[in-house]
Amino acid sequence: MTLSPAWLDELRARTTLSAVIGPSVKLIKAGREFKACCPFHNEKTPSFTINDEKGFYHCFGCGAHGDAIRFLTDHRGLQFMDAVKELAGKAGMEVPAMDPKEKERQDRAVGLHEVMAEAQKWFADQLNGVEGGEARAYLEGRGITPSMTQRFGIGYAPDARGKLKAALKKLGEDKLIDCGLIIKTEEKESYDRFRGRVMIPIKDQRGRVIGFGGRILGAGEPKYLNSPETILFDKGRTLYNIDRAGPASRQARRLIVVEGYMDVIALDRAGIAESVAPNGTAVTETQLERMWRLDGQPICCFDGDAAGQKAAVRAAMRALPHLAPERTLRFVALPAGQDPDDLVRSGGKEAVEALLAAPEPLVERLWRYEVEAAPLDTPEARAGLKQRLIEHSQAIGDPSVRQLYKEEWLRKFDALVRPQREQVRSLYPKREWQKRGGKFVPPNPPTLESTRGVHRGGIEPPIARALLSGFILYPDALHDHVEELAHLKIADHGCAALRDNLVQIAMSGQHLDREGLKTILAGQAAGTDVRRGAMRFSFTQAGSNPQVALNDLGSALEAVIARGEIELALNEATRRLEQDFSDSAYAEQQRLMAAQKSYNDRLASLASSE
């Protein structure tokens, strides 16, 4: 079934929002609007506003916001189509006919909720029966009390192949198969899917059981066994505890995301009910959307081990394309080797709240991950870090958020590598420059490997022109990079002359802005057409963000110098390989060729990101 935006707009136009919300709360007329105590969180003073003309409600206390459809889905727990049908019936509108496949699916789903409810009740009875002793002992050892067992509907599946099948045979084997409760193969008789496991029901937003997670008792694999994909259960679209966490999150004004069922139950034991968990998978886009409907910045609280931290990074990566103003993720790092259950046991609610009080923003979490991924002791490694950060920022769909992430990461990158750049620039201290005949003369070119390459060869004219354009448009960079600029080998004589003039101006110590520098260079032929034939970068465009342009200009200059060094080393490695072929010589040549390609790609990446 496809509901067009126009049809949904017509439905909203025919619906009086106050009439939909009125049966749930006491409305107070306030001019053209209505006020009420918010139905999504406890309050004594009305902060919930309903505007029939605009067709939306908003709570200034907890931030709940939406239209009539949203109210029915969030407050009453209806599925989207159930809410649409209810409103359409009252508005006298006919819901467009569903396509045959969807109709078949819904026909098959009829009665399956009742089957799952019966199964959950049967599992709960087994937990309290004779065979449930080991399972009860396990739950008691995890600190799960009988009242919590009842609250979460926890049960037990006996270690037998046919007990559930026999107990629920009156419901029909086909429905048991459709619910994923028993397995049917052509060669063998059908049998129970879950055996010898503590059974944790998974519910939809309305609190209906749609699947199970089974935790094995004792040794064995898999430790957790989920229901398969069924008509009712799609693990990538469902969040465990969403039925209880929805109302709790509005009252607490936060949502916590943990890794597993037991983590949710552990936080509940500490009095924190606003937590959800993916169903044994990495967080999906659909699950992110469901989280963001409850809270614009959920807190991911994953285990402190390596697997938990990888899960946190995967969630951050998955969220990048969907970030928007007021929609992000935050992260807390549990103590090494601990999960939420361990933290609750050792420190109680106070320890958990202390951790949740200072969550790490997504922008910081990814920055820390990339910086800690590998040592940054070579130009190649630092260039790789910068390239990864730019690629992450380019994955963000919202343009304003994308730009701000890029600027933030480049600022942090510049602060990180600046001490290393300063160390390089100290090889040409300004006190060694001497003034002869009215001009500043640099010291003799150093013998460093970082500059030999660019002395022997020469920068390609399009790149040289681009660098010089950047220094003219963003003269603040001259004082930071004048030493490197002075010692570059530039093949084009006009560009080389312009470079010399720029160095002289920088060494004069005068403060220059863009217009002042252009005025000084206006009469010089070398500077009149420097942008013609230049590669395009952010720093060759006058309207670029200044911080981004300055960062990119420094990175491009660093890449040019590193390329020269690599070119020199590659020529030497190739010469050695021709004289004496060996595995080590060949490996060194290939490594240098890869590094050369990396810097060429880096320059291309800087050009493509302008």
Q: What is the pLDDT of residues 17-44, one digit of tens each?
A: 999 999 989 999 988 899 999 988 888 8
| CATH 3.40.1360.10 domain locations along the chain | 249-368
Q: Distance between CA 102 and CA 495 in Å, rounded?
A: 68
Residue 584 has pLDDT above 80, yes or no: no
Residue 424: band (very low, low, confident or very high) from pLDDT cuts 50, 70, 90: very low
| CATH 3.90.980.10 domain locations along the chain | 110-226
> What Å distances lie between residue 356 and 219, 268, 298, 610, CA to CA?
33, 15, 11, 38
Kindly tell me the sign of the dihedral angle through the C-alpha atoms of 544, 545, 549, 552: negative
DSSP run (H or E) holding 568: helix 546-579
Collapse the DSSP code of 300 into the 3-class scheme (helix H, G, I; strand E, B; otherwise coil) and give the result.
Answer: strand
Collapse the DSSP code of 208 into the 3-class scheme (helix H, G, I; strand E, B; otherwise coil) and give the result.
Answer: coil
Residue 527 has pLDDT above 60, yes or no: no
* 3-state SS string for 58-88: EECCCCCEECHHHHHHHCCCCCHHHHHHHHH
| Number of residues assigned to the chain | 610
Q: Distance between CA 580 and CA 602 in Å, rounded?
A: 32
Q: Distance between CA 203 and CA 217 in Å, rounded?
A: 23
Calculate the CA 239 to chain-centre distance: 17
Quick one: fold of 110-226? DNA primase DNAg catalytic core, N-terminal domain (3.90.980)
Collapse the DSSP code of 438 into the 3-class scheme (helix H, G, I; strand E, B; otherwise coil) and give the result.
Answer: coil
- What's the pLDDT score for residue 452? 40
> Considering the domain 249-368 in this protein, what is its CATH number?
3.40.1360.10
- Omega into 475 within 30° of 0, i.e. cis? no
- What's the pLDDT score for residue 425? 40
Plot region of 525 (φ>0 → left; ψ -120 to 50 → alpha; else → beta) = alpha
> Are 496 and 487 a contacting pair, CB within 8 Å?
no
**330 forms bridges with which residues in the sheet?**
299, 361
- What is the pTM assigned to this prediction? 0.66
- What's the pLDDT score for residue 265? 96
Quick one: fold of 5-97? DNA Primase; Chain A (3.90.580)
| CATH 3.90.580.10 domain locations along the chain | 5-97
> Are 397 and 579 a contacting pair, CB within 8 Å?
no
Q: What is the pLDDT of residues 199-247, one digit of tens each?
A: 999 998 878 999 999 999 988 889 999 999 999 999 998 999 999 998 8
> Are 230 and 193 a contacting pair, CB within 8 Å?
no
Residue 418: band (very low, low, confident or very high) from pLDDT cuts 50, 70, 90: low
Q: Distance between CA 239 and CA 109 in Å, rounded?
A: 20
Q: What is the pLDDT of residues 460-519, one digit of tens each?
A: 888 888 888 888 888 888 877 777 788 787 878 888 888 888 887 777 666 667 777 776
Residue 10: band (very low, low, confident or very high) from pLDDT cuts 50, 70, 90: confident
Lowest-confidence segment of 235-239, 438-442, 544-548 by average pLDDT: 438-442
Q: Distance between CA 57 and CA 315 in Å, rounded?
A: 31
Lowest-confidence segment of 62-71, 101-110, 312-321, 362-371 by average pLDDT: 101-110
Q: Distance between CA 426 and CA 446 in Å, rounded?
A: 12
Tokens of 523: 């009469």
Helix residue spans in 379-439 (DSSP H):
379-394, 399-425
Q: Tell me the DSSP string of 196-226.
A: SEEEEEEE-TTS-EEEEEEEESSS-S-SEEE
> Are 254 and 228 a contacting pair, CB within 8 Å?
no
- What's the pLDDT score for residue 470? 87
Collapse the DSSP code of 376 into the 3-class scheme (helix H, G, I; strand E, B; otherwise coil) and give the result.
Answer: coil
Q: Interior CA angle at 431 toward 426 and 437, to 5°?
A: 130
Q: Interior CA angle at 584 toward 581 and 589, to 5°?
A: 80
Nearest to 48 by CA among 23, 21, 76, 86: 21
**337 forms bridges with which residues in the sheet?**
none
Collapse the DSSP code of 533 into the 3-class scheme (helix H, G, I; strand E, B; otherwise coil) and give the result.
Answer: coil
- What's the pLDDT score for residue 600? 81
Residue 138 has pLDDT above 90, yes or no: yes
* E strand map for 37-177: 48-51, 56-59, 65-66, 155-157
Q: Distance between CA 589 and CA 577 in Å, rounded?
A: 8
Stretch 392-406: mean pLDDT: 90
DSSP run (H or E) holding 144: none
Residue 570 has, within 13 A of its CA and on its CB side, a CA count of 15
Q: Distance between CA 235 and CA 227 in Å, rounded?
A: 9
- What's the pLDDT score for residue 355? 94
> Quick one: DSSP state of residue 169?
G
DSSP run (H or E) holding 439: strand 439-441
Q: Distance between CA 579 and CA 581 in Å, rounded?
A: 7
- What's the pLDDT score for residue 312? 94
> Quick one: DSSP state of residue 130?
G
Within the chain, how many helices (H) and strands (E) appear? 26, 18
Residue 453: band (very low, low, confident or very high) from pLDDT cuts 50, 70, 90: very low
Percentage of residues in the chain having pLDDT higher than 90:
40
Q: What is the pLDDT of residues 53-106, one digit of tens each?
A: 788 899 888 888 889 999 998 888 787 888 999 999 988 888 887 667 766 666
Residue 567: band (very low, low, confident or very high) from pLDDT cuts 50, 70, 90: confident
> Quick one: DSSP state of residue 240?
B
